[in-house]
Amino acid sequence: MTSISLKGVTKIFGSKCAVRETDLEIESGEFIVFVGPSGCGKSTLLRMISGLEEATGGSILFDQIDMTATPASKRGVAMVFQAYALYPHMTAARNLSFGLRMTGHSKEEIARRVGRAVKILRLDDYLNRKPAQLSGGQCQRVAIGRALVQQPKVFLFDEPLSNLDAGLRGSMRVEIAALHRELGNTMVYVTHDQLEAMTLADRIVVLNDGRIEQIGTPHEIYHQPKNIFVAEFMGAPRINMLPGVAVEEGGLFLPLDPEQKIPLAAAPSAVKAGDRISVGIRPEDVSGSPDSALEMRVDFIEQTGAMTHYFGRVGRHEFRVASSEGLPCRPGERIHLGFAAERLHYFDGKGQRISPETQR
């Protein structure tokens, strides 16, 4: 098992800075997930860890040994690519053993390692098939098997499930989690799918525009987002974000329009009247409440099975509600909504979370 340290790692492509002075400590045996929108630098960061991409600045350490200038083949990493990257002219068995054969391992050793990977990933039935004869899920299992036989110190996954359909993605997610439990290796996983990030990660690293926005456990990332970007990126439907200026009217309120205002009863003490703030509330923290003054005009209803999503407007703000029980309304109608005051997230004028330690 190996720990990874990134110290001021930077990557510049021409005039574009893809990764900006990134510091990160990945503990030994940890499953860490890089998540962020397209072009945020998550894959570039992973490729720099793998050695496939050279860092423009900073250093990458494995177990406190500087690996920045070490080629990919000497780092003890194995990588699983989004597009499988299986050799199309070789059978699954030849794909699994290719790296070992090329690096001079004995036949017995190759057979032992391939046999173990085949057993763990249940590849027996299609060892003699070529990639074109395998389904997407089978291809990705072979690709993971190819990483497994290398017995790497670190597993790197670059959006490995993005090409699979929803059902397969779910089952492969479970398999990867089981693999981590069984092997205990350090795993770094890149995805833009927040569900994958939330379900697989010990810790999530949220990236945006080449910078780390937040590092934390899935619970921390979701329930204590450090800024508006993280709050909005994590969660589907997206968090409701209501910007405005706090007012004192026998208590602190956030006016949304002339008729509606949100009581900020549990606001942190740092929030004062006259402050420009944004208040966030997760769609699932909102429910129907006939006595509430908060009124939403419902534009669209989306059934997802377990949950029903309601999209509409509160005043001039877009608003979303997610309910497992359903709300008594139809598109075009208005409904009164309520929420617990302590479920609100507070952000200052710069979009940074206002610490909730000291409640009013």
Partner 1 sequence: MQSDDKPLPRMRPPTAGFANRRYGGGFAPAGQVLLRYAALIAVALVFIGPFAWLLSTAMKSGSENIFQYPPQFLPQQPTFQNFGRVFQALPFLSYFVNSAFVAAMAVSCNLVFCSLAAYPLARMSFAGKNPIFLVLISTMMLPFQLLMIPLYSIAVALGLNNSFLGLMIPHACTAFGIFLMRQAFLTIPHQLEESARVEGVSRLRIWWHVMLPLSKPALATLAVFTFVGVWGDFLWPLVIMDDQAKFTLPLGVNKLSGAFGKDWRLVAAGAILSIIPTIAVFLFAQRFFISGALKGAVKG
203 part of the interface to partner 1, by CB under 8 A: no
Residues 161-200 that bind partner 1 (CB under 8 A): 163
- By CB under 8 A, residue 51 contacts partner 1: yes
Task: Provide the total of helices (H) and of strands (E) in the chain, helices listed first.
Answer: 8, 21
Q: Tell me how far apart the alpha carbons of residues 303 and 108 are, in angstroms, rounded to a whole number.
A: 55
From candidates 128, 133, 352, 359, binder to partner 1 by CB under 8 A: 133
**Element of type H or E holding 235:** none
Considering only residues 93 through 112, tell me which ones interact with partner 1, judged by CB under 8 A.
Answer: 98-99, 102-103
Rg of the Cα atoms in the chain:
24
| Segment contacting partner 1 by CB under 8 A, of 108-116, 124-132, 199-207, 304-312 | 124-132
Q: Judged by CB under 8 A, does residue 15 bind partner 1? A: no
5 or 138: CB nearest partner 1: 138
74 binds partner 1 (CB under 8 A): yes
Residue 180 backbone phi and psi in degrees, to 5: -65, -40
Start-to-end Cα distance in the chain: 46
User: From the list 29, 136, 243, 338, which residue makes contact with partner 1 (rule: CB under 8 A)?
Assistant: 136
Q: Which of 139, 176, 188, 205 binds partner 1 (CB under 8 A)?
A: 139
- Choose among 12, 22, 8, 2: nearest CA to 206: 22
Binding of residue 70 to partner 1 (CB under 8 A): no
Least CB distance from residue 6 to partner 1, whole Å? 19
Q: According to CB under 8 A, which one of 64, 108, 124, 132 is a site residue for partner 1?
A: 132
The 10 Å Cβ neighbour count of residue 315 is: 18
Q: How far is the CB of 1 from partner 1 (least distance, A)?
A: 19
Give the C-alpha separation, 318 to 120, whole Å: 48
Provide the H-helix boundaries in the chain. Answer: 42-50, 92-102, 107-121, 136-148, 166-183, 194-200, 218-223, 228-233
Interface with partner 1 (CB under 8 A): 50-52, 71-74, 77-79, 81-89, 98-99, 102-103, 130-134, 136, 139, 146, 150, 163
